[in-house]
Amino acid sequence: MIELIHLRKEYDELVAVQDLNLTIPQGEIFGLIGPNGAGKTTTIRMACGLLAPTVGRALVNGIDVAAGPEGAQQSIGYLSDFFAVYEDLKVWEYLDYFAHAYRVAEGDIAARVTEVIGQVSLEVKRDAMIRGLSRGMKQRLGIARAIIHRPKVLLLDEPASGLDPKARLELRNLLRSLRDQGSTILISSHILTELEGFCTSIGIMEKGRMVRSGRIDEVTAAENLARDLRLSWLGDATALLEQKLGGHVHVSNLQLGTGTGTFQFAGSDEELAQLLSDLVASGVRVKTFAEIKQTVEDLYMKLSRHEVM
């Protein structure tokens, strides 16, 4: 569990993070999104004890990170966007070093190193010197380092940078399996498709402030965002649809083409069902009528364009 309480970070005249309050329960994958310079990295660095907050506290599993960094860091796995590794070690030596540094039980270290090497698909490179690894392999080694001590909390700052598509897919699967094992994950990215599909909650940061945060469906509902809908029909019903939909109080952004169209609907489920009934009753031969699922990217774009602020 991660708790950020009135967190603030100042650099001379710049306020990088302002009065940030956030609670991420155990087992959540929280996506921290925002443009460059929004304060995501500063937030993560404060959460893992690399930066001391100017004001406020960061608690990881109930431990104040600033007051007891070593204790808190025992349960934190941290990965940043740069994949710096000790080039003069072998792959297994690198992981063995961090296993010892995180105080993994002596008897478990060898087996854990082997297990983690398998999880990031570096078995064939186990005895290779790190300096000979490719960029993507080094990043995978970084991921292995971050999870070597089975951390309860993972703080990942742009973790997929440098990974090829296959490795990105593997990373997502790995994060899902870690979430299933009860890990809490805070992941930041400005590449929103990275977060798609496995984040359970999101937080949108801009200019050091958390604009919105919560579970994705809750954020959508709380902001009463219009749903995107797509419909298709048979025959020539464009004029009729323009009349029916264009005049509807909850419909906006109507775009009709030949046999297909999209629009936004801001009403309730009941009102949506009624709209469909009305269309069918008025003689429109509706072939498909479906909600376009909101992506994290859609949500971010709507919120960051200040549509709901």
Partner 1 sequence: MLKFWRNPEFVRHVRAELRPARAIMVAVVALFMCALIGLACWSQRQELLESAEQSAQQYGGRWAEYVEQLHRDNTRETWLLLFRWLMGLQAGVITFWSMFMCAQSVSGERDSKTWDFQRTTSLTSGEITIGKLLGEPVLAYFAAVCVLPITFWAGLAGGISFRALLSAYISVIASALFLGVCGLWLSTLLETRSRGIGLVGALGLYGFVVGAYGLAMSWFPGLGAFSPLTRLHTVLELKFDGNREIYPVLFGHVVPWLLMSLLLYASFGAWVWIMLVRNLKRDYSEIRPLSRWQVVGCVAFVNFLFYALFSPSILIRSDVLATFMVSLNGALLFVVGLASLTPHERLKVWWRGRAEGTSSLFSDDGLPWPWLILSGVVAYALMVWGLLSWRLSLDFQPGSLRMAAMQLLIVLIFVMRDIMFIQ
Given the complex with partner 1, which of 45 and 212 has the nearer CB atom? 45
Q: Which of residues 184-243 bind partner 1 (CB under 8 A)?
A: none
**Over the range 126-161, which residues count as b (16 or more CB within 10 Å of their CB) and which as e?**
eeeebeebeeebbbbbbbbbbbbbbbbbbbbbbbbb
The nearest distance, CB 63 to partner 1, in angstroms, is 12
Neighbours of 103 (CB within 10 A): 10
Q: Which of residues 52-71 bind partner 1 (CB under 8 A)?
A: 52, 54-55, 69-70
Q: How far apart are CA 152 and CA 183, in angstroms?
A: 5
User: Using CB under 8 A, which of 21, 82, 191, 292 touches partner 1?
Assistant: 82
User: Using CB under 8 A, which of 20, 31, 102, 186 touches partner 1?
Assistant: 102
- Ordered strands of the 251-256 beta sheet: 251-256, 260-265, 227-234, 285-292
User: Using CB under 8 A, which of 31, 34, 39, 49 touches partner 1?
Assistant: 49
Regarding 135 and contact with partner 1 (CB under 8 A), the answer is no
Q: How far apart are CA 251 and CA 246, in angstroms?
A: 7
CA 277 to chain CA centroid, Å, is 38
Contact (CB, 8 A) for 90 and 116 = no
Regarding 300 and contact with partner 1 (CB under 8 A), the answer is no
Q: How far apart are CA 119 and CA 131, in angstroms?
A: 21
Regarding 51 and contact with partner 1 (CB under 8 A), the answer is yes
Q: What is the DSSP string of 30-70?
A: EEEE--TTSSHHHHHHHHTTSS--SEEEEEETTEETTTSHH
Contact (CB, 8 A) for 159 and 143 = yes
The nearest distance, CB 154 to partner 1, in angstroms, is 12
Given the complex with partner 1, which of 145 and 168 has the nearer CB atom? 145
Q: Which of residues 4-43 bind partner 1 (CB under 8 A)?
A: 9-12
- Judged by CB under 8 A, the number of residues near partner 1 is 34
The nearest distance, CB 230 to partner 1, in angstroms, is 46
The nearest distance, CB 288 to partner 1, in angstroms, is 51
| Residue pointed to by tokens 């000790």 | 86
Regarding 74 and contact with partner 1 (CB under 8 A), the answer is yes
Regarding 1 and contact with partner 1 (CB under 8 A), the answer is no
Question: Which residues of the chain form contacts with partner 1 (CB under 8 A)?
Answer: 9-12, 45, 48-52, 54-55, 69-70, 73-74, 76, 78, 80, 82, 84-89, 93, 97-98, 100-103, 145
